[in-house]
Structure 1
Amino acid sequence: VQWQQGEAESSPMKDVWRWMEESREKGFFKTMTCNQTRTLARGRHVKIFEWLLRHHRDKPSCPELADRLGRRLVRLGLARHPTHWTEILNEEVFSAPLLDPRKDHIRWPEVREALSWLEGNFTSVMLPEFQSSSGGFGEHDEGLHVTGYWEADYLIEGRDMTCDDQRFPGMCQLLRAVDDVLPTRSGIQFSGIPSLLQARFARLHPGTLVVDHTADTNQRIKIHCGVVNPSRVSMQIADTVLTWEEGKCYVVDDSYAHSIQSKDTDAARTILELKISHPDLSWANQLDEEDDGRLLQRVREEL
């Protein structure tokens, strides 16, 4: 990747980039076998991705640099797709940016059933309880939207996994049924991790830009259900586009780079977003990032 004159020298990424180039020359990337080493290498790339896309997204060279950096990940064997720059990558689990049950085969029968339940309860439970709720929304605090306003109202969050039955009685009952049907892995050390990890309504206001980003790991995926989207706001994820249809649900692997741009003239878009453990973890080996995130913390300390 060629930087514009003076850009690398003044960049806080200079040391990171030098480390990557020196590691490549020493053949470090060719011998990466352990999870922690590969995660460290991906983390170096992710740091530059984030620096580019959050602080230099308006520069003409930014899209090309990001694309070349992604292809570098693929060449080094650290990812299978240029937009798959998650830090902790479990290569045993199935991965696809977007699955629409009306077009694509959903390989997990339990997930197919969960999608059917959610869609079947849209008009009777999901929409009316969203419309009647008030006061629960707060700004999305992950620093991913650089313009506009993005907010969330949590139904389920935290290790106790309690649901707000007072505000969402029907949704909580539905979410418990979804959690019960999703695949689990019993009898091993990870059995204490629930299938359903988080549930929230997410509302994107007009004029909001959510920059390209990825989840920290592909060991969790998401279910998105369109709730309100009159302006047909869309999300770019990897090489495809998701336009949320009201009452329709989708499987989203947000370990692929994804972004959203809402125009000033668009109406607010709201979705139900469920974060679930990857269904393949019912049989696949699980990397240790779930253990309070200690691996990811160690990697970031080294960056």
Structure 2
Amino acid sequence: MKLNQLHVFKVVAECGSIRAAARRLGVTQPAVTYVVRELERSLGAELLLRDSKGATLTALGVALHQRAVLLLSEMRRAEDELVQLRDGTGGSLCIAFSSGAAMRVLVPTLNSFRKLRPGVQIELHEITLIDPRMHWQSGRFDFAVISELDEPIADGMERQVLFTSPMVVTAREGHPLANARSLRDLRSSLWLLPGHGLRVMTGLMQGLGVPPPNDVLLCQSLQFVLSILRGTDALTLFSSTLHEDPLVSGGLVRLKVREALPRLRLSLVARNVGLLTPAARLFVQCLTDETKKSSEK
């Protein structure tokens, strides 16, 4: 099993067909077919099911693809690290941010980092609160910066907590229930909730001895939430720091409910913080510095 075989196999898996993979790789279809068949021959197992519609992974193919992504990502990072250590410049970063995290710290961190290392190629991705583990456990990203509940999480990942803040109930200005002082009074409203929000709301309502809201729209996009909030009588849960952000808070109000709400934290998440490349470590330092400055304002 060779690295070039794994690379070709990974591209085929991502493209879903030999033809599309050949176009991406800039080679002929027979060349791609030959590499995949040689890989299957060396492993003694069928990795792809081929038909007129394309190619799908077998169970063994799925397992190998997951390992190939990790291995090739680590090879890319190893090459980057050697170049950075040798030359002190260049390299690449692939970073994921949840939308709430990006709103708070992304721009100042980018500005600080690019002043120090302008030659680093940066690839940014937005991830939702329901899918981050699938992505950063795959090894695709150098690290992720996400908003999550401030609670123990046993997922095998390493975390650096940047800050925590309480949740707040948020609605549009002029909302008919803007003066409500208890979650009891809000149970019948439409709630826009991320993945963890439904669990939080269910627990809060159970603590009050009432059923959870029955009108819930699960929404993983901050832009969707803001648009719907400002145009309807829906409610949502934000971190207090996000609610105070001028880019977010326009036209919105905080409902001063008496119940204590859980805290959210902004976390840097990586498979192994100690194995981050020099460029990644510098970005993390810029991120930590800018988060501290933001918290002191």
Computing the radius of gyration from Cα coordinates, the structure with the larger value is 2
Do the two structures share a fold, i.e. TM-score over 0.5?
A: no
Higher helix share: 2
